[in-house]
Structure 1
Amino acid sequence: MAAPALAEAAGPAEAAESAEAAELSRALSRLLPGLEADSKPGRRRALEALRRALEEAGPAADPAAFQGPWARLLLPRLLRCLADPAEGCRALAAHLLDLGLRRAARPRDALPRLLPALAARLAGPEPACRLQPEACEELRLALVQLLGLAVGLGGSALAPHLDDAVRVLRCTLLDPFAAVRRESCQCAAALARATPDHFHMQSESLIGPLMQTISHQHWKVRVAAIEATGTVIQFGNGKSVDDVLSHFAQRLFDDVPQVRQAVTSMVGGWLLELRDRYSFFHKLIPLLLSSFEDEMPSIRELATSLWEKVGLQWQQENEDDLKDKLDFASPPPAHYPLHESRPVLGCRELVSRNLSKVLPALCRDISDWVVATRVKTAQLLPVLLLHAEDHITQHLEVVLRTLLQACADEEVAVVSSCMRSAELIGTFVSPEVFLRFILATLKKSPSPSSLLVLASTIQGCPREALQPHVKVIATELAQPRVCQASDNDLYLERLLLCVQALVSVCLEDCGGCGLQLLEVLVTVMAASGATGLSDKAREAVAALAAVENVSGSQDLYRKHMGPLLERLTTSHGDWTVHSPELAQFSVVISQSGPVLGESLQHVVPTLRACLQPARDPQMRLTLFSVLSKVLLQAKDTVDSQGQFHSYLETVTKDILVPNLQWHAGRTAAAIRTATVSCLWALTSSEVLSAKQIRDVQETLMPHILTTLEEDSQMTRLISCRIINIFLKTSDDVLDPDKFIKIYPELLKRLDDVSNDVRIAAASALITWLKCIKGADGKSYYQSSIQYLYKELLVYLDDPESAVQDAVLEVLKEGSALFPDVLVRETEAVLHKHRSATYCEQLLQHLQAVPATH
């Protein structure tokens, strides 16, 4: 053993000397002087020759024979060449160093000289220097690759040179050239793995540059920085986790899926392998679970797979603590959400035990000013709640308060996730517990968000658990302070959602509170300005009817009409146009159909009281509009039971007459128009007998004659039509003195600005003429009819042909009374008309009709 020891002591060059090494040394010795040449071309030729010599030697060369000449002759000279003024020479030197390291038997022997040289070229004298002495970016990349090769070949021997390596990386991680940064990230990870026993003392100094690189514009650089950070912390100081978490969280919003996948993979790796991972569970778990809602299926699958491994590993590590739960595993709740797979026990326990630490940050971020942050945070909450299950109860107040705030967010994605969270609360928490908080909030300050949270919790709650609380919820929703708190469409939409959720979940259990729910739905229809919302409310009425086992919406109104109207009309003495009860009363009248005919004892007195002239004019207009609509379909509404005639006198004398009285002002005129419209709807609805119409006529004819003078064209037109109907049913029972006063008013309307009114007046005159029967009647009215002939003949020459046609028909109808008189009057004006056509037609008609005396 003494001989080898002596040989080794003689020096490595002498011990490794062999014939091959000697030959290589001689060959290199001939080329090396060229490296000292003064000219750049000379030094370059020498380096090219060295490259050819090494490449020709090939991989077959004995590493042991190569080691001596490499370490003794080549390495020191090549390292000096790294500072050569010529860029080409520096590049060749870097290439030769790469070849040498790969072929040497003991590459780690080069580290004491190589690392300082690389540090000098890449980092300069200052550790934090950003401007590297090497100006060429391709050369900086080659030198970093050379460092990576040295790390890979040197392994743990790099420990004494860790300072130089880290100093280099701190600069190159911030290099302007993206490829250098990527290579530096890979080198940093390799360095961490190569020197695990010493790297933790230096790892923190790399975190800053890595975090500056993690937001680089090139996504591949970002991925490399994330992966390097994961390895650096894995083998370095675990305390650095706190320094990188916010940066990793920001990368979860990255537009490039590969970046988000890298974060997910790194965080999952830490949860599985980080030495002090238990200290960081509450910080790392939210990051991994956030990827459960990533838009890319591959990332969601990766996160799910990693999370399950984390849960199973933790479960095995804490088997003694979980023994009872493992031995007596509880089955999933019977009402567990569909399409959701229950996480393993370890995952559920990890979330439950860390939820109190996670929630404060989550509650803060869900109201962040950045939309993406709010969306991501809102998506995380249901994932946590699904794991926590009934453990949510311990944190219910915090979670519900957060949801109440977040459900008011303008971002649809935030609200959608919050609704899902509220559904999970309904699934896992007892209604007695969550209703106590939500209903108290609703009483204190009703809002769209509180109603949405209530609707969502109801939607997620099992029917059997909710059954004892249905009446309480319905009663609270029907309270005026809740259902009438706002007429904002969003508020009403959320109010409707509560009813829809209650009906869809509880079904027949809603039977005991149908009145309250119907009140809410009527309120929604009354206050809604959106047609779509009213349609949805009507659909909800039909759904409520189905669960109450009645045949449809009409039967539902029939079942609750009495109490509903009684509640609504209690305050009718104080109604104004803005009263919510007025709008609800209008909805009930409009929607109840035939049921209205069964409730006249409630409806008519209310209408009578509210339609008095002393009441709010705008309110009266509203009610007249509703009344007109139901009177148009009287057979299917107010007279569905044939009882409307009992209230006809009240409607006529106490409602219509007072509102036909003339008062100054546009509003009063509008009310008279609305009143006339109601009368027209009543008289044309075919529910009144001829005698009933005559009774109405007796009362209203004087008032209708005055409305012929109204400024409103619509009023004048409808009044003409009403008079026509009155005359058709009057036969000969009209008082002659009253009858004779009708035609002058109609005659005036032939001068109306509206052709429609003129034609309607002509039609009424035809009916008036038909009412004159018998010789006595004719003689009584002769002077009036002769006057009428003269006036009508004037309009026979009207510029409007339609009016001429109408007047011709009136004269034809009246010609049977006094044809001789009409002939004389016609012949007297014939020459005065612009066209004699109509006069000639009238005369021809008179000649064709047999004379009567």
Structure 2
Amino acid sequence: MSSSTEIERNLELEILCKNIQCADKSKRQAALNELLQSVSKQSTDEDLKNLLDLTYLHLVKCYTDKFEAIRSLAISIVNEFLKCFQTRNEFFLDYIIPTMRRRIGLPEMVEESEEIQLELLTQLGHIVEKFQSNDTDTLMRIYNDIMDILVRNLTNRYANAHRECCKAIQLLATATPSFYMRAESLVDPLTELLCHRQSATRTIAVETLGVVCLYITNKNDKIVKSIVSISPLLTDSVAAVRRMCGIIGCKWLIELRDRYSFFERIVPLVLCCLKDDLVDIREEINTHFIRCGEQFFDENQQELQRIELIDHEYPCSNYVALVTKTRPTLGCRALVEKSLRMINIIVKEMLDWKEPVRLHSLKLLWEVVLFAEKAFTCKFIEVFPALAKACQDDENSVVKEAKRVAFLMGQLLNYNDWMEITMRDLKKFPNCLGILRCFNSLFAGAEIEHKRNSVEEIAKLISTSEMCHNLNEGYQSALLDLIEQMVNIHLTKIENESGEEKYLFEILVKTIALSNAHENNEIATRGLSLYETFCKTPENRVFLQGMHMTDVINDIEDLDCEHSERSERIIMLFGCIKLCGFQKEYFSSIQTAVKLVLENSTANAQIKILSGLSMAFLNWNHENMQGSAMNLLSIFIEDILEPVLIWKAGRNAESIRAMATQALCSIGCSCPDEAREIFPKLSKNLISLIEDELAVTRAYAIRCVLKAGPFLYEDYRHLVTEILSRLDDPCANVRCLAIECLPQLEVNPSDDMFSETGYSSLVEYIISRLFLYLDDPYIKIRPILLDSLAKLQKKHPVVFENEIKKLPTNYLYNDIIEDLKSARLE
């Protein structure tokens, strides 16, 4: 370049610099635009350096210009210088960084424009990137200025500034070896950004915090704070945030200093991502975690190689089908095994009051069990109480996940160890639904060979009154799940043990009996289906009942106390009677139990048991009685029913008498031969019941008379009188039964008190009274009345003809006479 050209160029630059300092904003702006174009036209670093030497003071001053456009242009010019320089120029470190600090790095933010703040932070990132070096620490002398800027702007109100700041931090970490000196000062502001409402900010904050922790030395509390702050983001609603948590966790497992001390806190970050809802996240994090395992294997090769020699088979036969993926590598499993101290944190979160936290911790526990396998057995005693509580949770999703975890434990853990602990807790807390559900899932996951040897021990414990006598619907459902498993195992055995069979039978009967407490019949339906499966055949069912029902009835304790109809003991007795009925072997046990209830319990409880007796008597099986039905029924009626049939004052007494009469009627329906012999002995009770206040009692009493055999003459007379009095009963059903009963009422002619004349007079009186009710307005009575008259005509033709002659001659009676004479009613 000629000297004249150079002089012209310098004059132009002097004019340009003068215009940059001009008071007129438009001139300053035009001059800066001209300078920007001039920078891009420089071809060499020497030319750029000369240009910069003439203009840098003016540019630095423009950083503080009162107009935002001027400040923005100055920043753009410096960026262009930075871009065009092939070599490093100390100007950026000596002048620009300190200027930045004064503008955006002080506690009181000088720069008011958010856009300029963002431009300055972006420029800071470019400068750091330009001056990064592996040889000389060029950034060392202005390191504190840069850190002041970064720390201050992490608390900026502007979200974009946060993200630019995080990018600059990541660049600075690799740009200077001195980054570790103040790295811990970034932890607190970065952890605050983890709660930012924008997901992009949360994501880059996690990434930056992960990088910063790699350079923290002798500040373990800061690393712990970082991990604890990141952990809640594992349940973030945005997938990118969760993914970054897993990536940082894997990065820490590989690169973090003293990482072995933090394994129990870092590993959960990775394992939680392995249970993420998105397949892409699970696959990506799994790839990273495999590399972590490989590094851990290499670092502990001598120890793990010995394990590798014997660790080539799956721990259980259906392992792959269970977890739907291949078995984790030995390095990953060893890494998790070394981190089992994390269980303390997981257990604490399993007891948290927030449902998402409990669910999240259970998913994490599932992964820990999967990787730790048998090594987790040593932690089972710590986890089991919290897992049992989770199984009793109000949230169905939590219960479902807790049962999955328990099932996996049953698959992978040492059977004898967890069985000993759970059996101990079942005995200690016999009515705990959570423990029962947890045990059920554990047992379901265990190998069939182990379970076969434990069925009798478990069934013996479950059959006790403390465990089995529970009215809770959820508890009964869980109990049925466990029983179903044990029954299926029992049925696969070639030789069934008698003790095991006895306990399983008792549990099934008790559970079905107690299901009567609920309106929902699902439990009863399941129980009955399982009961039929267990018994196999009706004959075997009868045999099992005869063998074991005495013990079931005797297990119902404290029946000599006052119980209501909702008492577990009353419901149990009612259900047993209803399900199994009567057999000779346990007839006396039922009789004793029912007697205690009728003597001590409330009226409603007595009514419930009597209704159960009615249903049982309707299903009476003579084959089960082995020819002793007459004797057993006589004793039962005399000892149990007859005292209840005696009249007592009060509404409760009326209801009890009604149910007792119904039970007596059921005997008459199912045991007609026995009833013909037994019922005549109850004539005095029946006479009293026929005039009872309750219509239903009167109806059942007359039905009992219909089933009875010949009565003694005096009893017959009183019965005729009482039944005839029921022809005027306010209840039409009672009137119909009375009319039906009169022709069927029998007298014993061999009785010493029997008188033929008196008997004929009674028959005449019966027939004459029946004729009087032919005009009853109740439409159903007339055919019953005519049928009864026809039976009396056939049974006593002479007396009947004499009574017809006494009838008045009118159209009603003439029609009846004609019908009877023509035998159309026979």
TM class by smaller structure: 0.7 to 0.9
Using the alignment, how far apart are the partners of 1:464 and 1:174 within structure 2? 62
1:151 and 2:128 matched: yes
Using the alignment, how far apart are the partners of 1:848 and 1:475 within structure 2? 72
Conservation of the 8 A alpha-carbon contact between 1:264 and 1:291: yes
Using the alignment, how far apart are the partners of 1:179 and 1:648 within structure 2? 92
Match of 2:274 among 264, 282, 292: 292
SS of equivalent residue, structure 2 residue 302: coil
Q: What amino acid is the match of 1:527?
A: L
The Cα offsets for residues 720-754 of structure 1, whole Å up to 9 and x where unpaired, read as 3333444xxx5xx5555443433442343343333
Using the alignment, how far apart are the partners of 1:648 and 1:475 within structure 2? 34
Shift of 1:103: 1.7
1:303 and 2:264 matched: no
Conservation of the 8 A alpha-carbon contact between 2:764 and 2:800: no
SS of equivalent residue, structure 1 residue 369: coil
Shift of 1:354: 2.6
The Cα offsets for residues 595-642 of structure 1, whole Å up to 9 and x where unpaired, read as x4xx3242156326733864546554333222211222324x776866
Q: Which residue of 2 aligns with 1:207?
A: 187
Match of 2:578 among 582, 585, 590: 590
Q: Which residue of 1 aligns with 2:262?
A: 280
Using the alignment, how far apart are the partners of 2:561 and 2:318 within structure 1? 50
Match of 2:212 among 229, 232, 242: 232
Change (3 A) 1:494 1:276: same
1:160 and 2:141 matched: yes
Using the alignment, how far apart are the partners of 2:278 and 2:10 within structure 1? 60
Q: Which residue of 1 aligns with 2:203?
A: 223
SS of equivalent residue, structure 2 residue 336: helix
Shift of 1:819: 6.3
Q: Which residue of 2 aligns with 1:439?
A: 423
Match of 1:481 among 446, 466, 470: 466
Conservation of the 8 A alpha-carbon contact between 1:575 and 1:581: no
Using the alignment, how far apart are the partners of 2:555 and 2:166 within structure 1? 79
1:339 and 2:322 matched: yes
Shift of 1:807: 5.5
Q: Which residue of 1 aligns with 2:227?
A: 245
Change (3 A) 1:52 1:762: farther
Among the aligned pairs, what percent are the same residue? 24
Q: Which residue of 2 aligns with 1:844?
A: 815
Using the alignment, how far apart are the partners of 1:676 and 1:250 within structure 2? 69
Conservation of the 8 A alpha-carbon contact between 2:233 and 2:242: yes
Using the alignment, how far apart are the partners of 1:723 and 1:478 within structure 2? 44
Change (3 A) 1:223 1:567: closer
**Greater CA drift, 411-420 or 199-208:** 411-420
Q: What amino acid is the match of 2:528?
A: R
Change (3 A) 1:191 1:40: same
Change (3 A) 1:630 1:241: same
Conservation of the 8 A alpha-carbon contact between 1:152 and 1:194: yes
Match of 1:90 among 71, 89, 93: 71
Using the alignment, how far apart are the partners of 1:705 and 1:18 within structure 2? 147
Change (3 A) 1:626 1:105: same
Change (3 A) 1:695 1:782: closer
Using the alignment, how far apart are the partners of 1:18 and 1:469 within structure 2? 106
Shift of 1:276: 3.0
The Cα offsets for residues 103-127 of structure 1, whole Å up to 9 and x where unpaired, read as 2233543222111111122123x3x
Shift of 1:249: 0.5
Shift of 1:136: 1.6
Shift of 1:505: 5.3
Matches within 5 A, 1:129-148: 129=108, 132-148=109-125
Using the alignment, how far apart are the partners of 1:609 and 1:90 within structure 2? 99
Shift of 1:214: 1.3
Match of 2:524 among 514, 531, 534: 534
Conservation of the 8 A alpha-carbon contact between 1:590 and 1:630: yes
Conservation of the 8 A alpha-carbon contact between 2:545 and 2:580: no
Conservation of the 8 A alpha-carbon contact between 2:742 and 2:766: no
Using the alignment, how far apart are the partners of 2:356 and 2:658 within structure 1? 57
Using the alignment, how far apart are the partners of 1:330 and 1:80 within structure 2? 72
Using the alignment, how far apart are the partners of 2:237 and 2:259 within structure 1? 29
Using the alignment, how far apart are the partners of 1:235 and 1:614 within structure 2? 83
1:44 and 2:29 matched: yes
The Cα offsets for residues 492-529 of structure 1, whole Å up to 9 and x where unpaired, read as 33433433343445654593211112222222223343
Matches within 5 A, 1:68-467: 68-109=49-90, 110-124=92-106, 126=107, 129=108, 132-156=109-133, 157-195=138-176, 197-237=177-217, 239=220, 240-335=222-317, 337=319, 338-340=321-323, 341-355=326-340, 357-446=341-430, 447-467=432-452
SS of equivalent residue, structure 1 residue 198: helix
The Cα offsets for residues 810-836 of structure 1, whole Å up to 9 and x where unpaired, read as 677778755675676556xxxxxxxxx
Matches within 5 A, 1:658-737: 658-685=643-670, 687-689=671-673, 692-726=674-708, 734-735=711-712, 737=714
Q: What amino acid is the match of 2:473?
A: D
SS of equivalent residue, structure 2 residue 112: coil
Structure 1, unpaired ranges of 5+: 1-15, 828-838
Using the alignment, how far apart are the partners of 2:83 and 2:589 within structure 1? 106
SS of equivalent residue, structure 2 residue 322: coil
Q: Which residue of 2 aligns with 1:650?
A: 635
**Greater CA drift, 160-169 or 300-309:** 300-309
Conservation of the 8 A alpha-carbon contact between 1:572 and 1:606: no
Conservation of the 8 A alpha-carbon contact between 1:151 and 1:187: yes
The Cα offsets for residues 226-276 of structure 1, whole Å up to 9 and x where unpaired, read as 111112223454743222011110111211111111111111111122233
Shift of 1:330: 4.2
Number of positions where the alignment pairs a residue of Structure 1 with one of Structure 2? 792
Q: Which residue of 1 aligns with 2:752?
A: none
Using the alignment, how far apart are the partners of 2:759 and 2:459 within structure 1? 71
Using the alignment, how far apart are the partners of 2:51 and 2:532 within structure 1? 93
The Cα offsets for residues 140-180 of structure 1, whole Å up to 9 and x where unpaired, read as 11221111221222224333222111111112212111111
Q: What amino acid is the match of 2:417?
A: V
Give the TM-score normalised by the residue count of structure 2.
Answer: 0.86
Shift of 1:186: 1.2
Shift of 1:643: 5.1
Using the alignment, how far apart are the partners of 1:46 and 1:803 within structure 2? 123
Shift of 1:368: 2.2
Structure 2, unpaired ranges of 5+: 750-754
**Greater CA drift, 367-376 or 305-314:** 367-376
Shift of 1:761: 3.0
Using the alignment, how far apart are the partners of 2:546 and 2:800 within structure 1? 60
Conservation of the 8 A alpha-carbon contact between 1:770 and 1:813: no
The Cα offsets for residues 192-226 of structure 1, whole Å up to 9 and x where unpaired, read as 1211x110002111111111111100011101111
Conservation of the 8 A alpha-carbon contact between 2:690 and 2:698: yes
Give the TM-score normalised by the residue count of structure 1.
Answer: 0.84
Conservation of the 8 A alpha-carbon contact between 2:487 and 2:504: no
Using the alignment, how far apart are the partners of 2:371 and 2:514 within structure 1? 41
1:624 and 2:610 matched: yes
Match of 2:505 among 499, 513, 518: 518
Root mean square deviation of aligned Cα? 3.6
Conservation of the 8 A alpha-carbon contact between 2:336 and 2:368: yes
Using the alignment, how far apart are the partners of 1:25 and 1:538 within structure 2? 107
Using the alignment, how far apart are the partners of 2:611 and 2:589 within structure 1? 17
Conservation of the 8 A alpha-carbon contact between 1:638 and 1:644: no
Q: What amino acid is the match of 2:506?
A: E
The Cα offsets for residues 40-93 of structure 1, whole Å up to 9 and x where unpaired, read as 3332333334345556x4xxx524254224421333322211211112222222
Conservation of the 8 A alpha-carbon contact between 1:621 and 1:674: yes
Change (3 A) 1:840 1:295: farther
Change (3 A) 1:342 1:552: farther
Conservation of the 8 A alpha-carbon contact between 2:514 and 2:571: yes
